[in-house]
Structure 1
Amino acid sequence: MPEVNIQTAPIKTKDHIQLLATPEYLEYHPLQATSCWVDLNLTAPTYEGKDNTRAPVDLVAVIDRSISMSGEKIELVKDTLQFVLTQLTAKDRLCLIVYDDSVNLIFDLTNVTEDNKSDLSCKINSVHTRGSTNLCGGLLKGMQVILSRTDDKADVASVLLLTDGLANQGISTTGGILKAMKDPFQLKKRKRRMRKLKKRKKRIIIPSIQGQVIKKKRKKKRKKKRKKKRKITNIDLTEEFTGTVYTFGYGSDHNATMLKDISQAANGVYFFIDTNEKIPESFADCLGGLLSTVGQNISLKVELSNGATITEFIAKKTPTFNANKTSAEVALGDLQSEEQRDVLMELQLPVCSDLGADGGILNYASITLSYFNVMSSVMETVKSDLPVPRTNTGKPKTSNPLIDKQKNRILTMKALEDAKKKADEGKYEEGRDLLLVCKNKIANSITREEVMVKGMIDDIDDMYDGMIDAGKYKSYGKSRVINALQSHIQQRSNFQAAPGKIMSYETKCKAGMKKKKK
């Protein structure tokens, strides 16, 4: 029988996301029911780096200026914002919001033209520290700015939230903030207040002795008119927040879990900044990604055929299935230049005796990828199939490197999660043992020499050092493990590795932006 190529050919167009479906092995016995791991890989095109070809961006920087940010921190933040100004062009817009006990809009979304840069620069330099940390107020104000846009909306819009401490003013719990993010203008609360007000305004009617109806006068007179609240105009109040939120936590005093959950709720990532020197690098990493966004609102749908069913489906977000697990659909957020997203899927394949002793190739899935192409500003669809050889030629049963690499990623995620649970219970040695077992498995895998896999091993070593004792875990280890876990789930860089260490998922655009900042 001739050699069978089991990889579906990817779509090879320059400005489109490529879709590749790959089974784990070269063949599967036709007369045996069997499980089959499949990798569904999405690869973003490479952004060429020309400002006239990239999409415009709307950035809202929300800066913690509480007293703990005094000194070098706030100066580095201002210096970094000045760098952001140099990288944006006239088609981009920047907004600056600062928060302490209260929230202040320093300047609204403004096109970064050559004429405006000097004024914006002066306003950035005017920021000074004071007060406490109304983190939720600052975040909601940033989201409101994105939602309030009317004309000339940029397709790429993001809130960059920076803090070095704990939320201690306004809504301060993670659950409360996440709930507030679903209604940034707090419209539901306003409606409840209006309903209560209307009830109070209702006239109370009581019957008189003569059977007539009289009105009971209230003892206290209300003010004739209340000051009218500013109306929110030109906003679709049913519109969901479609921008992203990136969070940056400095030092050891911030709530890493809260910042991770905030970013995850809005399709962003959390950056852990352990030293002041990494503030500019983290910003540059984020900015390099945002300025090279190529696809948004990505959705992947898998429809199985020929009796196959789904037994496991591993993606960055929870998928939806039909009743008999023969189809699945999952949202995958956005893709930046060169980035990849992988969905690892385990199928159960039935016996296919109809193919005969020699077997053949069966297509087990129709895969549809839909997304908004930021470069061309149109919705696009990419389709692919999943041909699987149901043969028995005695070929070596060697795992496909693409799937082995993704299994290593899943193994790393599981180890980080389990080790964190142990460390949270004070069982640091048990957590370190789990990381060591994972490292040894990955180090013996067939993809151990690949850059991404080496980055996983470096991350595990870093976590291992961060769980030496309670002091190390509190000051560094906990934030770092949350940071690394999200990075591997999202397949996106969000940490500045130490010299000589590999940072997984870093793209050329991000590396180039960090080089500019240096």
Structure 2
Amino acid sequence: MTKFIFSLAIISLVFQCNIISAVFGYINKNLKDPIAKHPIPMAVVEKPIDDKIKLLVTPEYLEYDPAKGTNCWVDINLAAPVYEEDDNVRAPVDIVAVIDRSGSMGGGKLELVKKTLHFVVTQLTPKDRLCLIVYDDTVDLVFDLTSLTPENKIDIEAKIDAVQTRGSTNLCGGLLKGMQVIMSRTGVKADVASVLLLTDGLANVGISNTEGIIQAMKDPFAHDIAGSAKREAKKPQSRARSLISSLKGEPKEGATGGMEPADLKAANEFTGTVYTFGYGSDHNATMLKDISQAANGVYFFIDTNEKIPESFADCLGGLLSTVGQNISLKVELSNGATITEFIAKKTPTFNANKTSAEVALGDLQSEEQRDVLMELQLPVCSDLGADGGILNYASITLSYFNVMSSVMETVKSDLPVPRTNTGKPKTSNPLIDKQKNRILTMKALEDAKKKADEGKYEEGRELLMATKQQVAISATSDEIMVQGMMDDMDDMWDGMVDSAKYNSYGKSRAVNAVQAHCEQRSNFQAAPGKIMSYETKSKVAMKKKK
């Protein structure tokens, strides 16, 4: 057993044991009251009261028999601080709006997009900058990054109003130009920078396949806007596996790209994010999801024109409340423990004997949480004696850039695990139960989509209902976020009635929902009476302004 030399480490260990005790005390209390509600985030995750991300690490059970080797699930929870709306405190943003102006954007779509851009202009201040790029067959820079002073806003709004529809869809050209603008910034560069890409159709000019676009994103300056290579682009370093595929320990079948954001940054210093917006039923939802995922953003599916301002407000509310960037999590095991499973939004790297892991987790916005599920193999430790004891099995280090204070932060935690056999109830940690429900929901949504893609709509619907029933009897079924998961399965069940419903709504919505649960970030508008998972106060406040 590793001896703790520093008293600070001992204090930290005792503190975390108290947290574990509180978690399971919460469980036992609710076991006595089966109809009690489960406000888990408020009950077991300390509400951040400063500008730092909180790190909470807890095992699944109260104790583990020291005389037996055993598996131990662990939840690593990151909780962002609550950002109080204050333009004097929040970080400035650089936003590049890349707008599809092809002919299909007529019929009121482009006019509604213009109205939404006007809303964006009203919400930004002189410390923020906005750029507008439009694309059809060609790509035009309407105006470069411009500070949102009162005088500039007048000129910007006039230029937005002057945009007209025409031509085809050079989606890749517009995207690359937007990324180039972020990479070529001069003057004071905002820490939060993002490309917002929107389209209602299929890419049909320039690079038009997902694999090619993702490859081009790794080195935007390697291609001209028409898609021709100016030099050999940097080769991808790796492919990201989906969170669901990591459960199976194998690459996601049929993956079309999705390089890690860390690879993008290593290749060309693109430090921004890319958010994509797909309108109606004609766009390639998987392509837009992969594009956003390759650069730490999310994909919004917009099936009605009325959802355009709602989606932009959701996105803008998140960007303006970004609190942590370039988040990296490192786990180092001790006392003979090894990693048997590691489930995160991105693919981790391991050492040779699976005693350490490291993963990039992108950014965090106000109130957001990220969870990493880790399964450990704990060895026999009978040398602890008849009464057993507590062993520390991991040191966890969280590193990130604090946008609110503009400094690099490091947060550390340990994993104390009771190796005793006192006969305490084998009741699962509610944090871990909720995350297992999230994984089940994602797998059901993705597997049902595969069935529907094969025309097996009824099989897909049966799969969704079976998973919903499994989640409904879980210990955390009353928790609001878990109810949102069940609402999503209901929504997909309705979207797979037949081919017409699936092709017009269900397919894009499935892609949208899987990514929301993978990223633990809102990216859609829930139907009336339904719960919108992961929505934060900052996003709600922005939507009320629209």
TM-score (norm 2): 0.85
CA contact (8 A) 1:11 1:19 kept: no
Structure 1 residue runs of 5 or longer lacking an equivalent are 194-235
**Match in the other structure for 2:18:** 5
**Match in the other structure for 2:54:** 18
Identity of aligned residues (%): 80
**Match in the other structure for 1:136:** 172
1:23-422 maps to which residues of 2 (within 5 A)? 23-186=59-222, 189-191=229-231, 239-422=268-451
In 1, the alpha carbon distance for the partners of 2:162 and 2:479 equals 47
Structure 1 stretches of 4+ with a deviation exceeding 6 A read 8-11
**Match in the other structure for 1:225:** none
Provide the aligned length of Structure 1 versus Structure 2.
474
Offset of residue 115 of structure 1: 1.3
CA pair 491-268 structure 1, distance change in 2 beyond 3 A:
same
In 2, the alpha carbon distance for the partners of 1:321 and 1:26 equals 28
**Match in the other structure for 1:215:** none
Q: Deviations over 1:59-92 (max 9, x none)?
A: 0000001111112211110000000001000000
Offset of residue 319 of structure 1: 0.2
Which of 502, 509, 512 is residue 538 of structure 2 equivalent to?
A: 509
Query: One-letter code of the match for 1:382?
Result: V
Query: One-letter code of the match for 2:343?
Result: I
Query: One-letter code of the match for 2:110?
Result: I
Offset of residue 237 of structure 1: 11
The DSSP-based 3-state class of the residue aligned with 1:495 is coil
CA pair 137-386 structure 1, distance change in 2 beyond 3 A:
same
Offset of residue 350 of structure 1: 0.6
CA pair 373-438 structure 1, distance change in 2 beyond 3 A:
same
The DSSP-based 3-state class of the residue aligned with 1:177 is helix
CA pair 35-491 structure 1, distance change in 2 beyond 3 A:
same
Offset of residue 191 of structure 1: 3.9
CA pair 473-453 structure 1, distance change in 2 beyond 3 A:
same
Q: Deviations over 1:205-253 (max 9, x none)?
A: xxxxxxxxxxxxxxxxxxxxxxxxxxxxxxx996421100000000000
CA contact (8 A) 1:158 1:244 kept: yes
RMSD: 1.9
The DSSP-based 3-state class of the residue aligned with 2:75 is strand
The DSSP-based 3-state class of the residue aligned with 1:5 is helix
In 1, the alpha carbon distance for the partners of 2:157 and 2:124 equals 13
Which of 491, 500, 506 is residue 477 of structure 1 equivalent to?
A: 506
TM-score (norm 1): 0.89
**Match in the other structure for 1:460:** 489
Offset of residue 11 of structure 1: 9.9
CA contact (8 A) 1:7 1:20 kept: no
Query: One-letter code of the match for 1:372?
Result: F
In 2, the alpha carbon distance for the partners of 1:237 and 1:306 equals 34
CA pair 104-38 structure 1, distance change in 2 beyond 3 A:
same
Q: Deviations over 1:140-161 (max 9, x none)?
A: 0000100111221100000000
In 2, the alpha carbon distance for the partners of 1:250 and 1:144 equals 25
The DSSP-based 3-state class of the residue aligned with 1:351 is coil
In 1, the alpha carbon distance for the partners of 2:17 and 2:58 equals 13
Offset of residue 420 of structure 1: 1.0
Offset of residue 313 of structure 1: 0.3
Q: Deviations over 1:174-233 (max 9, x none)?
A: 11111111111116933469xxxxxxxxxxxxxxxxxxxxxxxxxxxxxxxxxxxxxxxx
CA pair 496-450 structure 1, distance change in 2 beyond 3 A:
same
Query: One-letter code of the match for 1:5?
Result: N
1:500 aligns with 2:536: no
The DSSP-based 3-state class of the residue aligned with 2:229 is helix
CA contact (8 A) 1:65 1:99 kept: yes
Query: One-letter code of the match for 2:366?
Result: S
